[in-house]
């Protein structure tokens, strides 16, 4: 069965030389994934999001998604986290003994996969009122069963590396700057050794030194065997951690796609995409 | 592809509550219509929808406060499935008293305003068989601390408390018997924003620390997102969408849910 699956790997994901993790199943396997958004408020307009994607990401790989704004990079990450539903096609998550078919998973299964297998960092921190930054960072690790002390130590080392000053650790991040919030968000996702990491523009609002630190966190996670799928704004930075690039073609004209993102982000009640991407 | 391997659930146990085809009719007016849902230990489920969508009716039926016109509320209890509304009255009252609790939107509906805070917290314990006055009182004080109320005010009646304090007292009262299920009807409605944030934070921690199972009725989607992992959306008595809270809010499919999700301010 394994052999069969492996022979199906498309050439686009040709193995890296001498990668010890390569003998395993893909951690993420996406086949003919389509996603449309039907906007009932707009007379039932159907807006294409993803147009038949095939993708494998193996443990120990960092695949960087590229493509024009509106080509569905963030949409793909959100689908793999279960934040958006699968339209048609399939998306399988494999981590250790666990396999989740996202296209047919129950909410409880998705929650379990999020708890133990999939870390997702969007560009924006969803702040929880009154919860101190250090607890925001340790929360996912503690939910996954890491003892408090251990999670705390890991969180402190991450916050230090991402240059969040110690005096802010007990402050709720609501008042933090955009860059600080993003670093809290990244510390949160790196606080637990998720076998799968989904990173949406992890360096978007960071300065050079912090971007360097994020690159080394990604490299460490990769070396530890994590399968990483990331969207990067900066191609040069991406090139330093990517094991391979995958380009998404936009499903529709750019103009249309940007409109789609705008409409969806309005619906989704969260800011989305750097404004510099606007046409 | 091989068959998917079993994935452990985030909540180890199977559902302990199953609502099956529950309907309530007020004459020819629908309260709720063929609602099905289930809940596992430690889960928080939000029920959202506009006023009159049937969410409070559903909640009251689950909490044992109201009898459905048809359908069942199955409660897994000591190895057997009990139909809450088919039980003989004394057994039903016992089950509701010891395993279910209800938090009303208005603390005045859930508290006795003229008896002391300690009396409010002790009453459910006494109803459940506690007889040692000193233990009841010290339990009451512990619960006051837990919900960030000053235990020195244990002898004051809640009518002397602020709205936020009253709501925290009501929540403590709903938890003293360590129920398996807490049903909350708009617990943060009617409070000003800062008090609401404090209460939400408290609820979040209680849910985590005590592994509470909660069904939360709210029209505030922000509250649902913060507290509940799963949600159902109701309209005209029917469940029109159900699933992961963030998926329902970020990728809504039903026209009404899209309207609801696109109307969030913030």
Name every residue whose Cβ is closer than 8 Å to that of residue B3 and which is 6 or more positions away in sequence. none
Per-residue pLDDT at A14 exceeds 60: no
Rounded to the nearest 10°, the torsion over CA B113, B119, B124, B127 is -120
Q: Are B139 and B176 in contact (CB under 8 A)?
A: yes
Mutate to test the interface with A, among B4, B13, B193, B259 (most CBs of A within 10 A): B4
> Which chain A positions have a beta carbon within 8 Å of B225's beta carbon?
126
Average pLDDT, rounded, for chain B = 90
Per-residue pLDDT at A68 exceeds 50: yes
Chain B segment 103-122 residues within 8 A of A by beta carbon are none
Inter-chain residue contact B226 with A128, CB threshold 8 Å: yes
What is the tens place of the pLDDT at every residue in B220-265? 888 899 899 999 999 999 999 999 999 999 999 999 999 888 877 5
What is the tens place of the pLDDT at every residue in A258-277? 334 433 433 343 343 333 33
What pLDDT score does A256 carry? 40
The mean pLDDT value for A109-116 works out to 93
Task: Give the confidence band of B156 by pLDDT, cuts at 50, 70, 90.
Answer: very high
Copy the structure tokens of residue B17.
Answer: 């509550």
Mutate to test the interface with A, among B3, B6, B10 (most CBs of A within 10 A): B10
Residue B206 gets the label, from left (phi > 0), alpha (psi -120 to 50) or beta, of alpha
Tell me how far apart the alpha carbons of residues A50 and A70 are, in angstroms, rounded to a whole number.
9
B38 close to A (CB below 8 A): no
Per-residue pLDDT at B194 exceeds 90: no
The mean pLDDT value for B59-72 works out to 96
Inter-chain residue contact B246 with A92, CB threshold 8 Å: no
At residue A48, φ and ψ (nearest 5 deg) are -70, 140
Tell me how far apart the alpha carbons of residues A35 and A84 are, in angstroms, rounded to a whole number.
9
Inter-chain residue contact B9 with A129, CB threshold 8 Å: no
Copy the structure tokens of residue B224.
Answer: 């649902």
B264 close to A (CB below 8 A): yes
What is the complex's ipTM, to 2 decimals? Answer: 0.85
Task: Give the confidence band of B196 by pLDDT, cuts at 50, 70, 90.
Answer: confident
Per-residue pLDDT at B6 exceeds 80: no
Quick one: DSSP state of residue A57? E
Neighbours of A170 (CB within 10 A): 10
Nearest to B258 among A116, A128, A267 (CB): A267
Inter-chain residue contact B249 with A269, CB threshold 8 Å: yes
Tell me how far apart the alpha carbons of residues A114 and B197 are, in angstroms, rounded to a whole number.
26
Tell whether the torsion through CA atoms of B136, B138, B139 and B141 is positive or negative: positive
The mean pLDDT value for B178-193 works out to 90
What is the tens place of the pLDDT at every residue in A135-178? 999 999 998 999 999 999 999 999 999 999 999 999 999 889 98
Copy the structure tokens of residue A52.
Answer: 């038949």
Tell me how far apart the alpha carbons of residues A125 and A139 are, in angstroms, rounded to a whole number.
14
Inter-chain residue contact A99 with B261, CB threshold 8 Å: no
What is the tens place of the pLDDT at every residue in A219-230? 999 999 999 999
Alpha helices in chain A (DSSP H): 2-7, 73-81, 107-116, 133-143, 148-161, 178-190, 208-223, 235-241, 254-268
> Which chain B positions have a beta carbon within 8 Å of A109's beta carbon?
7, 9
Q: Which domains does chain A have, with CATH numbers?
A: 25-117+233-279 (3.40.50)
Residue showing tokens 């509470």: B212
Give helix A133-143 / helix A148-161 axis angle, nearest 10°: 130
The mean pLDDT value for B175-180 works out to 93
What pLDDT score does B14 carry? 86
Tell me how far apart the alpha carbons of residues A251 and A216 are, in angstroms, rounded to a whole number.
33
Q: Are A191 and A22 in contact (CB under 8 A)?
A: no
List residues of A whose CB lies inside 8 A of any B CB: 1, 5, 37-41, 78, 82-85, 92, 97-101, 107-113, 115-116, 126, 128-131, 266-270
Q: Are A22 and A77 in contact (CB under 8 A)?
A: no
Copy the structure tokens of residue A158.
Answer: 């991450």
Average pLDDT, rounded, for chain A = 83
What is the tens place of the pLDDT at every residue in A45-67? 888 889 899 999 999 999 999 98
Per-residue pLDDT at A37 exceeds 70: yes
What is the tens place of the pLDDT at every residue in A234-246? 889 999 999 999 9
């Amino acid at each position: 069965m394994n052999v069969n699956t492996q022979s199906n790997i498309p050439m686009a994901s040709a193995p890296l030389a001498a990668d010890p993790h390569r003998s395993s199943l893909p951690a993420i396997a996406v086949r003919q994934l389509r996603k449309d958004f039907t906007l009932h408020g707009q007379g039932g307009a159907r807006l294409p999001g993803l147009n038949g994607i095939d993708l494998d990401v193996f443990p120990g790989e960092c695949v960087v998604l590229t493509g024009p704004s509106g080509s569905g990079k963030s949409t793909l990450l959100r689908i793999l986290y279960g934040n958006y539903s699968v339209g048609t096609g399939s998306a399988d998550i494999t981590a250790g003994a666990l396999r989740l078919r996202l296209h047919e998973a129950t909410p409880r299964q998705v929650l379990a996969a999020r708890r133990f297998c999939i870390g997702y960092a969007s560009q924006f921190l969803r702040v929880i009122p009154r919860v101190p930054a250090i607890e925001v960072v340790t929360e996912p690790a503690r939910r996954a069963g890491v003892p408090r002390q251990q999670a705390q130590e890991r969180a402190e080392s991450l916050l230090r590396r991402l240059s969040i000053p110690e005096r802010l650790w007990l402050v709720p991040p609501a008042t933090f700057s955009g860059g600080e919030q993003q670093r809290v968000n990244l510390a949160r996702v790196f606080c637990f050794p998720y076998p799968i990491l989904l990173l949406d523009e992890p360096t978007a609002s960071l300065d050079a030194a912090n971007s360097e630190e994020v690159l080394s966190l990604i490299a460490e996670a990769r070396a530890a065997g994590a399968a990483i799928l990331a969207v990067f704004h900066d191609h040069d930075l991406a090139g330093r951690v990517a094991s391979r690039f995958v380009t998404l073609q936009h499903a529709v004209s750019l103009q249309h796609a940007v409109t789609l993102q705008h409409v969806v982000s309005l619906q989704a009640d969260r800011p989305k995409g750097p404004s510099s991407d606007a046409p | 592809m091989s068959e998917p391997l079993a994935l452990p659930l985030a909540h180890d146990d199977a559902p302990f509550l199953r609502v099956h085809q529950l309907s309530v009719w007020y004459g020819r007016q629908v309260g709720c219509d063929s609602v099905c849902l289930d809940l596992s230990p430690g889960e928080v489920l939000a029920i959202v929808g506009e006023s009159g969508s049937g969410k409070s009716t559903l909640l009251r039926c689950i909490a044992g406060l109201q009898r459905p016109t048809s359908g069942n509320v199955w409660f897994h209890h000591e190895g057997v499935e009990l139909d809450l509304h088919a039980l003989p009255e004394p057994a039903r009252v016992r089950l509701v008293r010891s395993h279910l609790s209800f938090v009303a939107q208005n603390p005045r509906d859930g508290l006795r305003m003229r008896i002391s805070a300690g009396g409010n917290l002790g009453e459910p314990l006494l109803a459940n068989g506690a007889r040692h006055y000193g233990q009841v009182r010290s339990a009451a004080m512990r619960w006051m601390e837990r919900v960030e109320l000053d235990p020195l005010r244990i002898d004051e009646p809640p009518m002397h408390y602020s709205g936020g304090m009253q709501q925290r007292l009501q929540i403590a009262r709903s938890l003293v018997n360590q129920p398996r299920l807490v049903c909350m009807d708009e617990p943060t409605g009617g409070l000003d924003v800062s008090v609401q944030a404090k209460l939400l934070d408290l609820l979040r921690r209680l849910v985590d620390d005590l592994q509470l199972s909660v069904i939360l009725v709210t029209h505030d989607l922000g509250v649902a997102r913060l507290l509940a992992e799963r949600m159902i959306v109701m309209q005209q008595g029917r469940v029109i969408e159900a699933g992961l809270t963030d998926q329902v809010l970020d990728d809504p499919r039903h026209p009404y849910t899209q309207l609801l999700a696109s109307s969030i301010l913030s």
